[in-house]
């Protein structure tokens, strides 16, 4: 096994920044509001946002007010949707639909799971996305995957001629992703580079969650069902690399540990022990009954109840306990790429090292660390997806390119 570690750096950061009500370099003082804005704005690269529209929207939002957040983003989404409807140029039209999708997703993200506005927001979010792909002439196939008496969603985007010589890139999200978002994160970028892409949702995500399926720590089950259905429709892929975003940094390695069809795995970012990531929320709720007034705590906890199908804090803590790669990572024999930001506010930084050290049987392990000066220090390098693309596609070329022995 070979192990390499690299750090992506940028210009030196200024020392002792001036402290304002909204810290310098942030959209909002609140961490969740800032991060989710950065996340949505980062999709400018793939057509899911435009920075002027983002800045106009955040100027209308009251910090810590989730309803204000939804109202502003959904209003922008509606304006951009109407722009798409009256635009004739196909690429401009499709781009406007994708931005309308992105803003609707960002707005609905912070609504409580039981908010009555959620179902209509979700329907718009999905609808606008496919109107965008259709307007731009993007080739795709929506796949319904049979899964243990229910169904999962998958999206296949075939690459250009020659894509069969590259690995099929399989993408899965985490605690809060939809498959449409993953197209904006890296699906489009992969297609631009000649890869075929398969994106899917498992239990606890996207539409399956809304259909009543909650998370399972045995992620090889939904992944296996997706790969089985893909093979039934399209035959076996020559190589498969699975990439998991956020909590997908647990899901993707877990699937790779139990499915020999997978040749490579990307943890984006590392998520070695999910239970550890919820401890700050548990501590806040246990010590302060008013903690749910904090959007950071409220969103994380309410989303846990929804996605895990739990009823209270104690049950939720118990439900998260099996979501760890301890005792699992040694089963992974594939090539592994680990990404991690130094300022990740969800996953403790040491988990990247924990995961790397546990991969004792992997064919190779490469770890890429992104610091604050590089712009990629946040969780999943949100706002700096160009750094992710450079790291991922260089690694894919090295491990699975022409002449590779992988």
Domain ranges across the chain: 29-138, 139-273+323-406
Provide the pairing of β-strand 197-200 with 240-245: unpaired
pLDDT band, very low/low/confident/very high, at 17 (cuts 50, 70, 90): very low
Domain 29-138 of CATH type 1.20.1560.10: no
Can 246 be counted among the known catalytic residues? yes
Can the peptide bond before residue 170 be classed as cis, meaning omega within 30 degrees of 0? no
Q: What is the pLDDT of residues 347-382, one digit of tens each?
A: 999 999 999 999 999 999 999 999 999 999 999 999
Q: Show the tokens assigned to 140.
A: 């795709």
Confidence (pTM) = 0.94
29-138 and 139-273+323-406 agree in CATH topology: no
Q: How far is it, in rounded angstroms, from Cα 104 to Cα 18?
A: 34
Q: Return the bridge partners of 241, or none.
A: 169, 264
| Mean pLDDT of the 24-53 span | 96
**Whose CA is closest to 200, among 156, 158, 166?**
156
Q: What is the pLDDT of residues 308-318, one digit of tens each?
A: 999 999 999 99
Q: What is the pLDDT of residues 86-144, one digit of tens each?
A: 999 999 999 999 999 999 999 999 999 999 999 999 999 999 999 999 999 999 999 99
Which class is domain 139-273+323-406? alpha beta
Out of 46, 77, 177, 246, which one is annotated catalytic? 246
């Amino acid at each position: 096994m070979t192990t390499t570690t690299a750090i992506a750096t940028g210009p030196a950061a200024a020392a002792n920044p001036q402290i304002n009500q909204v810290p310098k370099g942030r959209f909002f003082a609140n961490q969740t509001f800032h991060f989710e804005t950065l996340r949505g704005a980062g999709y400018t690269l793939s057509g899911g946002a435009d920075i002027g529209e983002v800045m106009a929207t955040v100027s209308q939002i009251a910090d810590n007010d989730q309803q204000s957040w939804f109202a502003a983003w959904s209003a922008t989404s509606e304006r951009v949707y109407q722009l798409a409807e009256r635009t004739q140029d196909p690429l401009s039209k499709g781009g406007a639909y994708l931005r309308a999708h992105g803003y609707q997703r960002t707005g609905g993200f912070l609504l409580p799971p039981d908010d009555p506005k959620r179902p209509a927001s979700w329907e718009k979010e999905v609808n606008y996305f496919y109107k965008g792909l259709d307007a731009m002439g993007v080739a795709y196939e929506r796949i319904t995957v049979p899964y243990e008496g229910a169904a999962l969603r998958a999206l296949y985007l075939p690459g250009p001629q020659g894509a069969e010589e590259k690995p099929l890139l399989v993408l899965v999200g985490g605690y809060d992703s939809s498959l449409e978002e993953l197209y904006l994160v890296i699906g489009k970028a992969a297609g631009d580079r000649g890869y075929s892409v398969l994106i899917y949702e498992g239990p606890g995500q996207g539409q399956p969650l809304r259909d009543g399926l909650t998370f399972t720590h045995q992620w090889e089950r939904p992944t296996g069902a997706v790969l089985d259905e893909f093979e039934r429709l399209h035959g076996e892929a020559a190589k498969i690399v699975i990439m998991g975003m956020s909590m997908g940094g647990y899901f993707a390695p877990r699937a790779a540990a139990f499915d020999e069809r997978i040749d490579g795995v990307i943890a984006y970012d590392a998520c070695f022990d999910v239970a550890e990531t919820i401890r700050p929320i548990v501590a806040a709720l246990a010590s302060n009954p008013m903690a749910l007034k904090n959007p950071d705590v409220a969103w994380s906890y309410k989303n846990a109840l929804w996605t895990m199908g739990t009823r209270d804090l104690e049950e939720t803590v118990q439900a998260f306990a099996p979501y760890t790669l301890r005792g699992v990572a040694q089963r992974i024999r594939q090539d592994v790429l680990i990404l991690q930001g130094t300022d990740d506010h969800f996953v403790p930084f040491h988990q990247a090292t924990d995961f790397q050290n546990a991969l004792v049987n992997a064919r190779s392990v490469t770890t890429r660390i992104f610091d604050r000066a590089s712009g990629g220090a946040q969780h999943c390098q949100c706002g700096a997806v160009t750094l992710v693309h450079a790291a991922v596609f260089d690694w894919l070329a090295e491990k699975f390119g022409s002449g590779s022995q992988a």
